[in-house]
Structure 1
């Protein structure tokens, strides 16, 4: 959890040591009253505000003047920012039991790197929260939820969020909605979750407005109401919420949900979201420029937006780039670059990237572009996802050619299939003999459990010993467990067989390097999409 000083002019994670408080070189501060200071604030004369508050804080010493002067120093209003000076004045106001000063000082401490800051901040917030300060109640709830500076207690966090929500704090109302939705610190209650989400959205919190819009758009706990959803998306977008800007812009781009397609509005909102760093907005702009129609077809702009989204780890944009280079669309055809992009997309979790590589492998189009052992995980994905016979045949061909990762992956896959266990064991044995450490560990476990082979502790100990000697992180522990079940003679026999394996290992070493994946076949499948 990150606690930001929302509402202040600048973040306070790093203090500006060069800033100084108002000094004697400033124009002499004329005596002022708090009424005059407030009038100056209203007309935007922040220099007068700052000097007036300085006079009041120093001469009258009221907690209110000290708090307000500390705040303008913190924000850099009417003069340079002075964090240290601000902290000093806030401390003076805290000493006079000013709750607002305690809350603001706590936020400064939470935004700074200092030992004990979180604990002191929790004390300050607790003091202000018990006196009814809704902002302090909200921040104290966040600390209790995360366990920062206090012992984690989701029940107490909920209680403080409820108190702050009833006091009108929209951030607390949003947190309370999430707590009711998740059953976090309280019983799950969808009706209350919706009620407090509507309260936060109505109070103007952009994130709440976006989530309410999304719920109305998709029927998430409420009846679908596309027009109301559109209104809330617009409110959130106009309040600067990037996801809402993307949703609104996309609706204008494709004409969804009764929205009339509008190029200017699509560019307005997708552009705002993209400039704010929303990678899906970048992707949608790329699609718009590739497709043409509403937006003018512009491959240069499409490439630029896809590249930016790809750099932000969006797999579908990386895949789209790969397609452009593979087909020579809007750019010079470059199959090597396309394959590299498909591989990157697959690693980013984009299934289409893996399937594109598999299709090229099955068609014999990867020669000189990607080595077989690099392609194996993605062809395995095709086999697992689609039960593709051509993918299986290609993998069997690589296994027969001695590609160990193909032997391991396909062997593990067969071990999960009735009627294929014997073939799976054979592939794992071949990989183990060729030096695959994961296969050696797997084979040792098979002999321990008798899965597809006869139970054999000597063989199990042998292969686990070999895997452990090669650095497998779990093999030594499993070997020790097996060793407790064996006689001394059996252990001696297993050790002798392990030594014999290493004595002849050099003669069996492959002539080319191979990369062996240490996880199960399914681990190469995409696991996340936006």
Structure 2
């Protein structure tokens, strides 16, 4: 009788000890006939045991087998698998922020289109009567100078010429015109028609801000908040945001809300944040609509209101905010605050996915796999999964890694599986850390390295995933006995040298 491959033995030992991840992996090995003869009865047994512990991917594999006519009834004495539908808690957990944002899915970076507004008194002349505008600007009319600068900047009625725009903005700015000062600051800020200079941008924003220009007050506050051209000082930034917000500037209302929500630069006040977000949201500020939706969903700063949350989330989604499109898709898929509608959910996932939102790409892949709200299409599912993995979604990287490891749905490539597991593991994915540790221990797809295997199993054990922690801890202990004190010291050193995001 042929000896069982070491990787299969490792999974079997952990599976028999009750590890859901190992049960799933062992079930997949039997389902696909990877390294062992294909055995659907064994596959169903182990997949059912994993699914009974809530392993969603095992439940998905059982669904696929059932669709192929395979009897997936649990063996006598085995518990029934848990349903794979998301609970409310699981769905809300999915609504966590994308990496790099603060708060719960919140957009916290104040952004403004740095566009000089045309002077309404001269807006028509900028297009229809450039000669008259030039004549007025030549007499020292600051409003005409700003409008002529706009014409040159935008190429309206004249050939686009940023250098000429700077010339006319400068004349108006030096004459004390706040719009000219603001417009010149923008040119310095963006480096249009002259060398980019934070110092000069700040100088002219300050002049316009002191004259009461709300756009300049906001942009000045934003530069101070981010430390562009000066030391970062959120408390000073907040004062400029307050001045701009007092004039009803939507971007400033939103920015001020982020400071109250986070307690950065101001005493934290979630009720005030909600009020400011609402004011900005009702003026059409998409990021404020999104943040307000999150706070209303969580009941932070105001009583929880799913219907109102869904309303504001939809408004932000309709303005093209990818995070809002993804979240609104989730709300539609579960009927949170809005009627459940899988077709509409798929629409919003597709919108967000097309904009590059990795989580939406992953969800769209799962919808195509199941035929939920979209046509069932394995090719489309794999393509969206690849995109999500390439964009950095850890779950997509893990799923694609499994496909590469087993050859199910993608060409088998153990080295590529290792690369994908590593990417997901470095992002904190517990199962990816566990699998990466096992592959290092067995030398599958990569040179065998028991010290590195120990490192990843230790990280998996401390990832906070109950189903992974115990088998990972046992595996790490077995390796510790083999690598000894010197190997343990090496493992600790390697961990300390890794980037912060990879720490346990």
> TM-score normalised to the size of structure 1?
0.65
Whether the aligned pair in 2 keeps the contact of 1:351 and 1:526 (CA below 8 Å) is: no
Whether the aligned pair in 1 keeps the contact of 2:170 and 2:184 (CA below 8 Å) is: yes
Q: Hey, what does 2:167 align to over in structure 1?
A: 88
* Deviation sequence 1:388-412 (CA, Å, 0-9, x none): 3531343135405x9x645533xx5
Per the alignment, in what secondary structure is the counterpart of residue 410 of structure 2? coil
Q: Whole-Å Cα distance in 2 between the matches of residues 86 and 524 of structure 1? A: 46
- One of 73, 77, 83 as aligned partner of 2:156: 77
Task: Say whether 1:286 aligns with 2:365.
Answer: yes
The 3 A distance-change label for structure 1 pair 382 and 398 is: farther
Residue 201 of structure 1 and its aligned partner are, at CA, apart by 0.9
Per the alignment, in what secondary structure is the counterpart of residue 84 of structure 1? helix
Per the alignment, in what secondary structure is the counterpart of residue 496 of structure 2? coil
Q: Hey, what does 1:18 align to over in structure 2?
A: none
Whether the aligned pair in 2 keeps the contact of 1:348 and 1:526 (CA below 8 Å) is: no
Alignment of 1:21-420 (within 5 A): 38=123, 46=127, 48=128, 50=130, 52-58=132-138, 60-112=139-191, 117-263=197-343, 265-358=344-437, 366-367=443-444, 369-372=446-449, 373-385=451-463, 386-388=469-471, 390-396=474-480, 398-399=482-483, 405-406=487-488, 408-409=490-491
* Deviation sequence 1:302-360 (CA, Å, 0-9, x none): 22222222222222211121123334433344444333321232123322211223455
Per the alignment, in what secondary structure is the counterpart of residue 303 of structure 1? helix
Q: Whole-Å Cα distance in 1 between the matches of residues 453 and 249 of structure 2? A: 54
Q: Whole-Å Cα distance in 1 between the matches of residues 403 and 358 of structure 2? A: 19
Task: Say whether 1:519 aligns with 2:496.
Answer: yes
Q: Whole-Å Cα distance in 2 between the matches of residues 407 and 187 of structure 1? A: 45
Residue 188 of structure 1 and its aligned partner are, at CA, apart by 2.5
Residue 521 of structure 1 and its aligned partner are, at CA, apart by 9.9
Per the alignment, in what secondary structure is the counterpart of residue 342 of structure 1? helix
Q: Whole-Å Cα distance in 2 between the matches of residues 252 and 118 of structure 1? A: 44
Gaps (5+ residues) in structure 2? 1-108, 464-468
Residue 100 of structure 1 and its aligned partner are, at CA, apart by 0.8
The 3 A distance-change label for structure 1 pair 117 and 221 is: same
Residue 2 of structure 1 and its aligned partner are, at CA, apart by 9.2
The 3 A distance-change label for structure 1 pair 257 and 231 is: closer
Range 60-69 or range 366-375, more displaced: 366-375
Residue 297 of structure 1 and its aligned partner are, at CA, apart by 2.3
Range 245-254 or range 299-308, more displaced: 245-254
Residue 251 of structure 1 and its aligned partner are, at CA, apart by 3.0
* Deviation sequence 1:151-176 (CA, Å, 0-9, x none): 54433322211111011111111111
Q: Whole-Å Cα distance in 1 between the matches of residues 409 and 326 of structure 2? A: 25
> TM-score normalised to the size of structure 2?
0.68
Q: Hey, what does 2:57 align to over in structure 1?
A: none
| RMSD, aligned α-carbons | 3.2
Per the alignment, in what secondary structure is the counterpart of residue 74 of structure 1? helix
Whether the aligned pair in 2 keeps the contact of 1:170 and 1:205 (CA below 8 Å) is: yes
Q: Whole-Å Cα distance in 2 between the matches of residues 40 and 359 of structure 1? A: 72
Q: Whole-Å Cα distance in 2 between the matches of residues 346 and 394 of structure 1? A: 21
Count residues in correspondence. Answer: 386
Alignment of 1:391-470 (within 5 A): 391-396=475-480, 398-399=482-483, 405-406=487-488, 408-409=490-491, 438=493
Between the two structures, name the one with larger relative contact order (CA 8 Å, sep ≥ 6): 2
Q: Whole-Å Cα distance in 2 between the matches of residues 267 and 382 of structure 1? A: 33
Alignment of 1:4-19 (within 5 A): 5-7=113-115
* Deviation sequence 1:4-58 (CA, Å, 0-9, x none): 644479xxxxxxxxxxxxxxxxxxxxxxxx97x65578xxxx4x25555334323
The 3 A distance-change label for structure 1 pair 278 and 131 is: same
The 3 A distance-change label for structure 1 pair 311 and 92 is: same
Residue 523 of structure 1 and its aligned partner are, at CA, apart by 6.7
The 3 A distance-change label for structure 1 pair 209 and 90 is: same
